[in-house]
Structure 1
Amino acid sequence: MSTPDTPRFPRGLYGVTPDWADTDRLLAAIELAHAGGMTALQWRRKHGAPAGLRVQAQAVRDLCLRLGLALIINDDWRLAADLDADGAHLGLEDGSIAQARLALGAGKLIGCSCYDRPELAARRLREGADYIAFGAMYPSSVKPDAVRATLDHVRDGRRLAEGRAADGPAGEIRHPRAAVVAIGGITPGNAAPVIRAGADSIAVISALFEADDIRAAAQRCTALFDAAPP
């Protein structure tokens, strides 16, 4: 049964794919991360020919369906709709939640980058985001110039998400609530304070997929959530 504190987005490790052209390598890595407890995956590719990218995205979708793993498509809600993915992640330049919701449908997940801006998170929640993402929490090798968020931003986001659940549109009570995601430079060794601050999910790229033992890295992240109250 959902409660006011139950998030709509899966709690736990949220893997974000590296920019690998080798699809077989990527699929094998996803399986290892899932075996270690990863609860959701974001497919994120910034480089490559459109036809090749779509082939890889479809292969990832097929694997996630087999694994029962929630798949979010980064940036491209149109592709997410075409693949019947579980949702899309939107940055500032990726269109509106209203556009994405119309294309994806009411049952899909829409997440939004909120950087270090709680006021943006509040607006995205009013627009119907299923999760709000803050970061970079730590220096990021993937985005070295990214703005830096703090634990206070995560705490603020959690309060906003819980408040929005209690006071939805026109006073409607919304269960479950939107989730709070933290991203940027997160590793199994530095994630615990982020989770204690209120992150429902930690989005991890390099510390997961570039790890010597992907399954073990996922297990270490998952154990942090097992040890922390929801």
Structure 2
Amino acid sequence: MRPELRGLYAITPDMADGARLLAGVEAALAGGCRIVQYRDKVSTMPECVARARALRDLTRRYGAKLLINDDLAMAVLVDADGVHLGRDDGNLMAARALLGPTRLLGASCYADFAAAQAADAAGVDYVAFGAVYPSSTKPHAPLATPDLFSRAATLNACSCAIGGITLDNAPPLIAAGCDLLAVITDLFSAPDITARAAAYQRLFQENQP
């Protein structure tokens, strides 16, 4: 298990203002977040590449990792620390071979433990289950139950929870064995992003394995 894969996993919100996006991510990093995923469904490709490169430089200044959502080619292009792939975003074994052993590879497994086992066999670093709670980002996703995280203890990969996570509903997920909490809205809509990120990190400190 890779030691950097524990704690808050910040997923960027769709945001037209690139400067505001970078400021929000830096605030999360200042609060102790050390893994960030760049997810952008609204910007043009040139904008995405420019933002990904800016985020790569920013995360490196904080000793954090940057993953790119759903786009292996962009992850390689901008020299990101890894990529997160959904069910239809490419072959995991091919991605692992292209990324090499040191970059991070994550896979969406929804509420499907068999998919997590297959992803684990393909060499991913983490498997993501979700939505764990009703989510505005993925309103139609099947809910993933906490027992998936205890079952994931049998895998080599770490486990990640995503979907509708807040500070209030996160502790049962960590108690069930979740290694990463992927958060968008509850983090980036907080009045103080740095304080919110620090609060998430404390949840993990209070629940040491």
Superposition TM-score, scaled by structure 1 size:
0.87
Please report the RMSD computed on the Cα atoms of aligned residues, expressed in angstroms: 1.2
1:72 shift after superposition: 0.7
How far apart, in 1, do the equivalents of 2:174 and 2:5 lie? 14
1:82 shift after superposition: 1.0
Query: Within 5 Å, which residues of 2 pair with 1:47-66?
Result: 47-66=42-61
Question: What SS does the aligned partner of 2:120 have?
Answer: helix
State the partner residue of 2:63. 68
1:151 shift after superposition: 0.5
1:213 shift after superposition: 1.0
State the partner residue of 2:99. 104
How far apart, in 2, do the equivalents of 1:185 and 1:49 lie? 27
How far apart, in 2, do the equivalents of 1:202 and 1:134 lie? 10
State the partner residue of 1:14. 9
State the partner residue of 1:184. 163
State the partner residue of 1:125. 120
Post-superposition Cα deviations, 1:157-182, rounded to whole Å, max 9, x if no partner, equal: 22x32xxx4xxxxxxxxxxxx21111
How far apart, in 2, do the equivalents of 1:220 and 1:74 lie? 25
State the partner residue of 2:32. 37
How far apart, in 1, do the equivalents of 2:193 and 2:40 lie? 19
State the partner residue of 2:207. 228
* Runs of at least 5 residues in structure 2 that lack an aligned partner in the other structure: none
How far apart, in 1, do the equivalents of 2:139 and 2:21 lie? 23
Is the 8 Å Cα contact of residues 152 and 159 (structure 2) preserved in structure 1? yes
How far apart, in 1, do the equivalents of 2:3 and 2:158 lie? 6
**Aligned length in residues:** 209
Higher CA-based Rg: 1
State the partner residue of 1:173. none
How far apart, in 1, do the equivalents of 2:75 and 2:121 lie? 22
How far apart, in 2, do the equivalents of 1:127 and 1:18 lie? 29
How far apart, in 2, do the equivalents of 1:122 and 1:91 lie? 15
Superposition TM-score, scaled by structure 2 size:
0.96
How far apart, in 2, do the equivalents of 1:94 and 1:61 lie? 21
How far apart, in 1, do the equivalents of 2:5 and 2:124 lie? 14
Higher mean C-alpha displacement, 7-16 vs 92-101: 7-16
State the partner residue of 1:168. none
Identity %: 46
1:46 shift after superposition: 1.0
